[in-house]
Amino acid sequence: MRILAYVFIALIVALQFPMWLGKGGWLQVREYDRQVTLQREANARLKARNDALDADVRDLKTGYEAVEERARSDLGMIKHDEVLFQLQTSATEAKKPSPPPAKSAR
């Protein structure tokens, strides 16, 4: 009788092994779920980036405001009959620390 119990236990373990540790088993399915979740997050980030690039392309194709903004910020261009003022600080003023705040008398 004791040998028969050990045989049944061995059969149960042999039947359960593929379900838990074999190909397509519980552990592998769990790992695949984790990989799918990571890929979905990466896809969402890339979709947001693509949507932003698509909006930029549409702006550049339809309106002059986006082209003008790019020309001003990236290329430093100005319009005809426009004056550009650039203020530069001297090297000594840039290195000089600002004065401490005034203390109030109490």
pLDDT single digits (tens) 15-59: 887 777 777 778 888 889 999 999 999 999 999 999 999 998 888
d(CA 77, CA 68): 9
Establish if 34 belongs to a structural domain: yes
Q: Within a domain: residue 65?
A: yes
Cβ atoms 51, 58 nearer than 8 A: no
Number of domains in the chain: 1
48 within a domain of the structure (yes/no): yes
Parent domain of 60: 2-95
Q: Which has more confidence, 21 or 11?
A: 11
Q: Residue 99 pLDDT > 70, yes or no?
A: no
- Tokens representing 43 are 């896809």
Please state, rounded to an integer, the average pLDDT across all residues of the chain: 82
Strands, E, within 1-106: which ranges? none
Asked whether residue 100 is domain-assigned, the answer is no
Q: Give the Cβ contact number of residue 106 at 10 Å.
A: 3
Examine the pLDDT at 104 and tell me if it is beyond 80: no
- Report DSSP state, residue 102: P
